[in-house]
A = this chain, B = another copy of it.
């Protein structure tokens, strides 16, 4: 990615800043702060923030700025419910359209998954998890579903990072990933068997499980 516009750089870097925990919900992302930090003028920063708002990643108050939305049980329910819809459909579509190569790649990802869980590496697990979900979205061969999956996945990541810390326990523990790998395997198995209904069902079940794990005690 040697040739990337300043706006694209700003877009990625801002996401990185958020996901790396430099900001907490309610914090304003000020153009005047970010611009010098990213070594560019306000213009591309402002446009990148506009994109993030359009994608639902950030909220905005006119004339005030963009801020990380406050997590709430209602919003969490909405985002995970929405994820069930789009990722379920994406899995079904992937079962119909994924190439053998893509399926092999997903298998490779899941092997690393097992190892990551075995080692208890939270970082790697999160990365693998993202690769798996976004890989299925891509295999759906549907640009709209893919975009929505990406957006809602990142958006729900905010919850995975922040939610319990603000509404529940003072210290945050890792996501208990006991059932996640087996669910991932079940999804991939359905896709491999070209069974869209089963793939959709398994995916929805998996997301519901993640949601319940996150919010309704553990």
Contacts and interface: CB of A to CB of B under 8 A. Distances in A.
A144 interface: yes
Contact of A143 (B78, B88, B93, B143): B78
Contacts of A145: 78, 81-82, 85
A142 interface: yes
A47 B152 CA distance: 23
A54 interface: yes
A148 interface: yes
A56 interface: yes
A144 B62 contact: no
Determine the main DSSP class of A at the interface with B.
helix
Nearest to A52: B54
Contacts of A152: 144
Contact of A93 (B46, B47, B81): B81
A174 B203 CA distance: 39
Given A75-B143, A81-B89, 18 more contacts: A47-B47, A47-B50, A50-B50, A50-B51, A50-B54, A51-B54, A56-B143, A56-B147, A78-B141, A78-B142, A78-B144, A78-B145, A81-B142, A82-B89, A82-B144, A82-B145, A85-B85, A144-B155
Interface of A: 5, 46-47, 50-51, 54-56, 62, 75, 78-79, 81-82, 84-86, 88-89, 93, 141-145, 147-148, 152, 155
